Structure formats: structure tokens, C-alpha cells
Amino acid sequence: MLRTLCKSKIKNVFVTHKELKYDGSIGIDKTVIEAAEIMPGEQVHILNVNNGERFTTYVIEEKANSGRIVFYGPAARKGEVGDELVILSYCLMETKESHNFKIRTIALGKNNQHKSK
């Protein structure tokens, strides 16, 4: 049996830009997505702490260490610059392997910067 598990969680994320005239998605700093083991184009769930919005989209890679978190296209209607987010990605795995699985959690610091361990 396959189970759907939360693979990655990025918290303490703040929207830095919005661009309505775009096909749609979320732009995330390359350093952050690499730390969270999320790929460009990967599906993510966005949880907006400020307004309760929750939506599904895909990731566009922003410049490394830019701190950019951008709502593109229709996603730009789901929040405002400065809103706090939680970003989740999921994976499928067999029940047996899921017992040893640990979610990868990334907490961002000032200006959406990931601090390496």
C-alpha cells in the first residue's frame, strides 16, 4: 500500500512580492528549495497564516539567497506582501518504508534566509 506523507515543511516564510500578470505559481529562493529538497515544478501546498487561505500550486526557482517568495498569477490573489506562510510538499511511499521516514523541516530566519547547519 502506498501512503501520502508530508516530505518537506518550510516555516517562517514571508511573501516578498506579487505579480498578477503571470500564468501562476509560487517563486521560492533556490537556497530554500534545495534545503527543503523540493524541485522546481514540484507541487506544493501553501498555507497562509494571515488569512487562512490554503492552495496548491507548483514551484518556480528564484535566485539563490535572494530571500524572494513570490505569488505569481492567480496565487497573487491569495495573500499580500508580508503575509506569513507555511509551504508543504508530499511524497508517496510504501507503508514499510514510511515507518522510518522523517519529515524535513526548514525554519527561515530574517529576510527568508535559510541558515545552513
Domains along the sequence of the chain with CATH: 2-108 (2.40.40.20)
pTM to 2 decimal places: 0.94
Q: Mean pLDDT over residues 15-27, rounded? A: 93
Instruction: Report d(CA 109, CA 67) in Å as an integer.
Output: 10
Instruction: Report d(CA 11, CA 14) in Å as an integer.
Output: 9
Please give the distance of CA 61 from its chain centroid, rounded to a whole number: 11
Is residue 71 a contact partner of residue 87, using CB atoms and an 8 Å limit?
no
The closest of 33, 21, 28 to 76, measured between CA atoms, is 21
pLDDT, residue 116, reads 63
pLDDT, residue 114, reads 86
For residue 23, name the pLDDT band (cuts at 50, 70, 90).
confident
Please give the distance of CA 50 from its chain centroid, rounded to a whole number: 16
Q: Mean pLDDT over residues 84-108, rounded? A: 96
For residue 38, name the pLDDT band (cuts at 50, 70, 90).
very high
Single out the catalytic residue among 8, 22, 25, 116: 25
Q: Does the active-site annotation cover 89?
A: no
Q: Does the active-site annotation cover 58?
A: yes
